[in-house]
Amino acid sequence: MIKSGKSKTIVFIGSGAIATSLGNILAAKSENKVVLLSIEHEVVDAINQAHTNSKYFPNFQLHPELKATGNMEILQEADMIFLAIPSVAIVGYLKSNQTYISKKAVLVNLAKGFGNDFQLIPDWVNANMSNVMATMKGPSFARDIINGQPTGFTIASTDPSCFPVFGEVFSKTIIHLDYSTDVQGVEYASILKNIYAIVIGIVDANFDSPNLRSLILTKAINEMRSLILRFGGKSETMFNYCGFGDFSLTALNDLSRNRTLGLLIGKGFFTKDISEKVVLEGRIATNVFYEKLSQTIDVDAEYRLMSELYGVFNKDCEIKSFVDRILKD
C-alpha cells in the first residue's frame, strides 16, 4: 500500500458528477496527479481541451490539472482508485479489468448501493482481490463540492493503516473526514438512508408540519440504527457523517432523488405504470431488505416504516392513510 509523504496518482473510474467534483478538488493540490478514467470520449476531450464537463457541470471551469483518459493502463500507475460508477456495475467492471489494477492501489468505493446479487461491494473486493479496500460515504451533493462548500465524508476500512493516507490526500481541502472500521455499518447506512428519505418525502407531501417531520425522522433513525446492528454494523456509525449526516441530506433536501420520489408518491403522481418503469436506489433497497427480513421476523411489528413503504410499492396501499399507519402503536 502507498505510504504517506509521497506524490500520488489518483484515478477516478467514471467521469460523472461525484468523480468530477472530487477530482477537481484534488487536482488543485500540486502533489497529486488526478485522472478521470471514462468511456465517454466527448467528456474526455472536453476535460482535457476546454477544462469543462459539459454533461454534468456545463458552466463550471475545471482546474487545468484535472485530466481525463479512456486508456485503462492508467490503472497500473494508480496509488488510489475511486470507484465512481453505479454500484450494480462495479463488480462486473472489476472482474473485467482486474489485470490492469495495480495491487498497491487502495480501492475506494464511492457508490451507494448493492453490487451484484445484493452483495456489499467491499465484501466482494475483500474476497476476490488483494488490494486494501475502503469505502467513502457522506452527505455530499456534487454541486456543493464543485462550488467549494465544506463537505463531510466517513472513510471506512478494516485496515485502518490507510487512514493517514486519506488524511494527507484531502488535507487543506474543503473535504472533512471521520473514520471507522465498521465497513458493514457504513455501507448499510448509505443504502438504508434512501429508503427512509422516501418515507420523509411522502410525509412532507401530505403534512407541512415540523412536529410531525421530526417525529418521523426520529422513528426513521431508530429503524436505521436497529437494521445496521442486525446486519453486523455498529450503533455509533449512525453518528458519523455517513449516518445521520447523509440521511438528513437525503431526506430533507429536494435535490435528493429519493426524497423527490417520496414527494411524488405523496402527491399521487407515482402511478403503477410509472412504478414499473422507474428504478431508484430506495425502491430497490426497500424490496431487498423487506424480503430478506420477512424470512425470519415480523417486519410490520419491528420496522413499521419500511413495512408500510414496501406496501406502497407492492400492495397498492392507500397513500392518504400512510401517516396514520406508520404512527399506529
d(CA 201, CA 154): 25
Q: Give the SS3 label for residue 9.
A: strand
Which of the following is catalytic: 33, 137, 193, 315? 193
Active site residue 29: no
> What is the per-residue DSSP string for 47-84?
HHHHS-BTTTBTT-PPPTTEEEE--TTHHHH-SEEEE-
Laid out side by side, the sheet with 133-137 consists of 66-69, 32-37, 8-13, 80-83, 106-109, 133-137, 151-156, 175-180
* Single-letter amino acid code for the residue at 293: L
What is the separation of C-alpha 237 from the centre of its chain, rounded to a whole number of angstroms? 15
* Residue carrying the nine cell digits 502507498: 2
Output the nine-digit C-alpha cell for 119.
452483495
Task: State the DSSP code for 2.
Answer: P
| Cβ neighbour number for residue 159 with a 10 Å cutoff | 14
Output the nine-digit C-alpha cell for 255.
435535490
Picking from 187, 232, 219, the residue whose alpha carbon sits closest to that of residue 329 is 219
Task: State the DSSP code for 105.
Answer: P
* Single-letter amino acid code for the residue at 77: E
Active site (catalytic) residues = 193
